[in-house]
Structure 1
């Protein structure tokens, strides 16, 4: 004989979490502090310093070139290095920590070394690459190498 199943209504998932907003924020701070602790405890300082963050970027392709738009707010031209090889573009540098007053309670912006890399499927003309930094967005234009355009060949009979 089967017994009817009991369903509880108004469980935690249906009612939402019973925590108020300040307690939820404290949990977020606690998780951030635990992550920082675990990162420093698990890895030597030399390895942590070598780790780099990747800035948000878009890679566009046209018939003539590739264009990388990379968000780097607050970083000066002198702190950015752009390198282009036959099939790769690399944007790297360092965002230094701002000197602020008071005690930093929560960090929401990355600091330290950054690096963005992208593979390019065709050869490019690295000597014709241009880069500009406007309103915190770095735009790198990478012209493609001139490839032979396909053409129709008439077969002789």
Structure 2
């Protein structure tokens, strides 16, 4: 069976791309800062005893954060708030504003009750131990 392809002229592709760009720019301009969904940047480190998660949350207060750990999943929720502009109008609004949720799935089960969370200089640090069954055990070798 033969397959036929229609070759769109390059000009038509360029026109379509420009129209899509204009449409997206118009939609983003109409959005208020608090309507944007935020992505939370994280680092996840692992060692024999557990995991360390560091998340950038500049300007977020500890009372605006919620952390849940269940099985092998950690969920971080929070909200970036913007200072009031007053009578001024935003010309550029790039600072993070709005609610965020980040779900991190780890390779092993966790001990949620032993999780420690600290917030310092805009960095949230979680220390979550692995479940006892997933920690390495040292086995003594007996002679004889």
State the TM-score, normalizing by the size of structure 2.
0.69
Looking at structure 2, the residues matched to 31 and 74 of structure 1 have their Cα atoms a distance apart, in angstroms, of 32
Of 54, 58, 70 in structure 1, the residue corresponding to residue 55 of structure 2 is: 70
Q: Distance in 1 between matches of 2:43 and 2:75?
A: 13
Equivalent position of 2:71 in the other structure:
86
Give the drift of 1:149: 3.4
Determine the structure 2 residue equivalent to 1:108: 94
Q: How does 1:1-150 map to 2 (within 5 A)?
A: 33-36=25-28, 52-101=37-86, 102-147=88-133, 149=137
Q: Which has the higher contact order (CA 8 A, sep 6+)?
A: 2
Count the aligned residue pairs.
116
Q: How much has 1:109 moved relative to structure 2? A: 1.4
SS for the counterpart of 2:132 is coil
Structure 1 unaligned spans of 5+: 1-29, 41-47
Distance 1:39 1:77 in 2: 27
Between 82-91 and 93-102, the greater mean CA deviation after superposition: 93-102
Distance in 2 (alpha carbons) for counterparts of 1:38 and 1:93: 24
Q: CA deviation at 1:100?
A: 2.4
Distance 1:67 1:56 in 2: 14
Largest Rg, 1 or 2 = 1
Structure 2 residue ranges without an equivalent (≥5): 1-21
Tell me the secondary structure at the aligned position of residue 58 of structure 2: coil
Q: Which is worse superposed, 70-79 or 89-98?
A: 89-98
